[in-house]
Structure 1
C-alpha cells in the first residue's frame, strides 16, 4: 500500500492495546482508560431526550450553536476570571478533535512543540502527523512542576508552541500559581502559542485550579481546550471546545469545518444543559477524591511512592524503590499474573512509573490494591 509513512510509523495507543489485551481475562480489573464510571447527570439525559423528540435533528451551525457557546463563555468567565466572547469559542468533537485541529492549524514542517513530562500520549501523533517535532521537558526533579527556569532551557528559534496539561494526566498535579505566573510572564513577549489542555479542570480536590484563560494579555497566543467527557461523564457524546482569540478562531474553524463540519446537534444541546443546569459536579469530585486518597495511601504503604494528586482521577505511582527496569514489563506481568490492568509510565514519556485510573468503586479498588500488594512482594525480596 502506498500510505503516508507518518501513518505507517504510528501505532494504536499502548493504553488501548493493554485495555484490549485485558479483555481475555473474565475477572480482570481494568484500571487503564480514563473513562468516568459515574452516571451522566440525569437532567442532561432527560432534557436532551425531550429536545430530540420535539426538534428536527438538522445540521448544526458551523462552530457551535449560539446557545452552547454562550454558556461556555459564561461558565469560563465566571469561574476562571477570563474575558472570552461568544465569537471566541469553537465547539469541537471532544478535546481530541480540538487538539488535532489546533496542530493542523498552527504547525509547519520542523516546528517544535514543548511538552512537559509526564504527558498525555495523544499529543505526539498529532504533532508528528503535521510535521512538527516534540521536545520533551523532564519535570521529575521538580516534583512534576514545570518551572520557568526549566522551560527557558528548551526554547529555540523553532519553538512554535508549549503544551500545558493541568490538572495533569497522568499525575493529577496542578501547576502552582507562582510557577504559572512566572511562565506566563516569560512568554509575554515570545512568539509562542500556549496550548492549555484543561479537560480535568472541574475535577480538582484541595487547591483552586488557575486557568490560563485568566491571562488576558496573552489571549492572542492562548489556545484553551476543554470538554465534557471527564467533568460530566459524557465520553460517548464527543463534545469539547476551544477558547481563543477571534482572529485565531477564524483560522481554526477552517480546519475544523473540513474535518467534520460540526459536532452532533444532540451532543451540543446536552452540553448546553450540562453548563446551564448541571455545572456543579462537586459531588462527583468528592467521590474521585475519596478513591484517589484510598489508592494513594495503599500504594505508599507498599513502598510505591507517589505524589498526592491535586485533581483528575489518576494516581501515578513510582517503582523507584524496586528492582524493576521496565514499566511495560511490570504492567504486562501484573496483568498476566493478577489480572490487574494498569498503564506503564513509558506511555507518558517517563520510565519507572505506572498510572492507575480510579474510575472504579472503592470496593473494586481495594481488591485491586490487595492483588498488587501481593504481587509486589516478589520485588521486595
Structure 2
C-alpha cells in the first residue's frame, strides 16, 4: 500500500509541552506550572452575553471575516489603546484563536522557499506553521544577556535575499521578554531598508508590568507591512472560547479571509457576541487580573533568586524563565526528575527552541497558594541536587 502520510507533516515534531501534561494529569497530588492558561473564570458579564446570545437564538453562521459589530469594537480597541486605525471591513478578520490567525497569515504571504525569521525561544506554533505554508524557518537565537530581546545585530545577521517575513513574538512566551520603543526603533529601520514584512504576535499586549506595550505597527510606515495578531484568551481569560483576530493591510487580509472561508467558514458565533462585551466593558477585568499576575510574578522572581537560580525580570505575559544550568542537568532532565521526585510539572526551555536549553518555563497563571506549595517543593529539589 502507498504511504498515506505527508512527509512534511510526519517530519514535524510534536509539541515538547504535551508529555508533561499527559503525565501530570494522571499523577495524584501533582501541581502543574506548565499551562499557559489563566486560572480566572471568564468574567461573568462576558459569559452572560454569550448565554444571552444563545437564548436569543443567535446560533447561525456569521460572515466569514466575523461579526461587523465585533470588527468595529476590535478597531475601536486598537485605536483607544495604541492609536492604531484599521478599517473593520477591509483590514480585520476574526479567527479561531490567535493560532489560526498566525497560520493563515503565513499561508497567505509565503511562496515555497521564502524565509521567515523566528526569534527563539518562542511560541511552539511558529516553526511548524512556516513549514506547513512552504516557507523556510530561519532561527534567531535570543540571549539571556540581552533579556531575550531581539537586537539589530542579530536581525541583520539573519536576513538574506530570500527573507520575506519577520515574526515578532513580544511580549514573549516563554521568556516574558518585551520590546520597548527604543528597541523597536532599530528593528523598524532594518525592516524598511530590507523590505520585509512583520507578523507581530501581541496576544499578551495587555499583560505588561510597569511598562506600556508598544506595537511595532505604531511606527510610521509599519502599519502597511505588519500583520498584527491578538485575541481574547489571555487578556480576558477566554481560552476555551477560541477567538482571536488579525488586522493588517487589506491586500493580505483579503487572502487570509479566503483561506479562512474554505477551511473554517467563521469563528464561533456565541464567542463573537461575548467578545463584543469584553471589548466594550472588560477593561477593569483586565486590570484586576493583571494586578494579580504581577503579585505572582514578583513572588516567583524573588523565590528563584533565593534558591540561587538566575532569573531575569520579565515584564510581559505570565511566565518566568529561570536558568538551571548551575545544577548540571539538561532542561528535560530537570523537568522529568522534578516531576518524579516532587510532583511539580514545569516545561523544559527546549520546548520553545534549542536555545532554551538550560532554562525552564514556569507559568504564574495559577493561584498564589498553589505557587507557594510548588516553590516549597522546588526549593527542596534544588537544595538536594545542589549537594550532589
**TM-score bin (small chain):** over 0.9
Tell me, yes or no, if the aligned pair for 1:91 and 1:242 is still in contact at 8 Å: yes
The offset of 1:209, in angstroms, is: 0.6
Q: Deviations over 1:288-320 (max 9, x none)?
A: 011111111101110111111112111111113
The offset of 1:57, in angstroms, is: 1.1
| Equivalent of residue 10 in structure 1, options 5, 9, 12 | 12
Tell me, yes or no, if the aligned pair for 1:323 and 1:379 is still in contact at 8 Å: no
Q: How does 1:305-320 map to 2 (within 5 A)?
A: 305-320=310-325
Tell me, yes or no, if the aligned pair for 2:50 and 2:273 is still in contact at 8 Å: yes
Q: Distance in 1 between matches of 2:385 and 2:115?
A: 40
The offset of 1:379, in angstroms, is: 2.9
| Equivalent of residue 27 in structure 2, options 13, 20, 25 | 25
Tell me, yes or no, if the aligned pair for 2:118 and 2:127 is still in contact at 8 Å: no
Aligned-residue CA RMSD in angstroms? 1.2
Moved more, 43-52 or 361-370: 43-52
* 3-state SS, counterpart of residue 178 of structure 2: coil
| Equivalent of residue 105 in structure 2, options 99, 102, 106 | 102
The offset of 1:41, in angstroms, is: 1.0
Q: Distance in 2 between matches of 1:376 and 1:192?
A: 45
In structure 2, what is the equivalent of residue 288 of structure 1?
Answer: 293
Tell me, yes or no, if the aligned pair for 2:16 and 2:350 is still in contact at 8 Å: no
Q: Distance in 1 between matches of 2:229 and 2:363?
A: 22
**Stretches (4+) displaced over 3 A:** none
The offset of 1:216, in angstroms, is: 4.4
Query: Which blocks of at least 5 consecutive residues in structure 1 are unaligned?
Result: none
Q: Distance in 1 between matches of 2:241 and 2:50?
A: 11
Tell me, yes or no, if the aligned pair for 2:30 and 2:344 is still in contact at 8 Å: yes
* Corresponding pairs, count: 380
Q: Distance in 1 between matches of 2:27 and 2:290?
A: 30
In structure 2, what is the equivalent of residue 224 of structure 1?
Answer: 228
Tell me, yes or no, if the aligned pair for 1:80 and 1:210 is still in contact at 8 Å: yes
In structure 1, what is the equivalent of residue 374 of structure 2?
Answer: 368
* 3-state SS, counterpart of residue 321 of structure 2: strand
Q: Distance in 2 between matches of 1:248 and 1:190?
A: 19
In structure 1, what is the equivalent of residue 148 of structure 2?
Answer: 144
Q: Report whether the alignment pairs 1:248 with 2:252.
A: yes
The offset of 1:191, in angstroms, is: 2.6
Q: Deviations over 1:154-197 (max 9, x none)?
A: 10011111111111111111112111011112212333110000
Tell me, yes or no, if the aligned pair for 1:327 and 1:351 is still in contact at 8 Å: yes
Q: TM-score, normalised by structure 2?
A: 0.95
In structure 2, what is the equivalent of residue 91 of structure 1?
Answer: 94
Moved more, 80-89 or 191-200: 80-89
| Equivalent of residue 347 in structure 1, options 335, 348, 351 | 351
Q: Distance in 2 between matches of 1:216 and 1:78?
A: 18
In structure 1, what is the equivalent of residue 309 of structure 2?
Answer: 304
Q: TM-score, normalised by structure 1?
A: 0.97
Tell me, yes or no, if the aligned pair for 2:332 and 2:348 is still in contact at 8 Å: yes
Q: Distance in 1 between matches of 2:79 and 2:217?
A: 9
* 3-state SS, counterpart of residue 62 of structure 2: coil
